[in-house]
Amino acid sequence: MILQPNQKLLFIGDSVTDGGRARPDGEGLFDALGKAYPALVDALLETVYPERAIRVVNQGASGNTVRDLAARWETDVLAHRPDWLSICIGINDVWRQFDSPRRPEIAVPIGEYRETLARLCRETRPLLPGGLVLIVPFYIEASTADAMRSRMDEYGAAVKQIAADNNAVFVDAQRAFDNALLHRHSAALAWDRVHPNPAGQMILAKAFLDALGFVWTRGE
């Protein structure tokens, strides 16, 4: 596993990452990490790699787009001086195009999304002693012909390219959900096809840890 002893891993993103985490900083006792995949990642690291003492911080914020991330980048990312940074953003950038079509100004078109995320990654990557992780935005819908799924895949392709350009770890969350959808309807993982239930959050956590080389049978 590529996370090294005593490193700090910071998650940033939207409501999928937020999970009800503490404010201003999602770290510490009493469910401060929230109930989403960052908390599951933390629990699994504590269980399987306790000697590495990885420090996990959750800075997700419900409703965020990549514009919102850029606006709070200094206080919520750089000020924490993480060793590893995980970014999962893009769902709201796309969703607002569909659930609020009469308010186009609150959505983020693909060009702006790509440019903003690429800039944040390019400027931040040299400051990370460990590395950068990019989680692809997803829509828990099996049909790639669905309008929102198709659009989300465009944003996902942009994230994959940005990950390659910045030597980042790429987590294909969409593929992980697609594999699950071979056996379950989307309603069994997320009532709105966006906000994962506990099983969906575990799918995210597993995909994240698999990408980092997590050894599930370690110690057996």
Q: What is the pLDDT of residues 8-22, one digit of tens each?
A: 999 999 999 999 999
Check whether 203 has a pLDDT greater than 80.
yes
Catalytic residues: 15, 192, 195
CA distance 91 to 189: 16
Q: Using one digit for the tens of pLDDT, what is the confidence trace for 87-119?
A: 999 999 999 999 999 999 999 999 999 999 999
CA distance 201 to 205: 6
Judged by phi (left if over 0) then psi (alpha if -120 to 50, else beta), residue 27 lies in beta
| Mean pLDDT over each residue of the chain, to the nearest integer | 97
When the candidates are 3.40.50.2300, 3.40.50.620, 3.30.465.10, 3.40.50.1110, the CATH number that belongs to 8-211 is 3.40.50.1110
Q: Judge if pTM exceeds 0.75.
A: yes
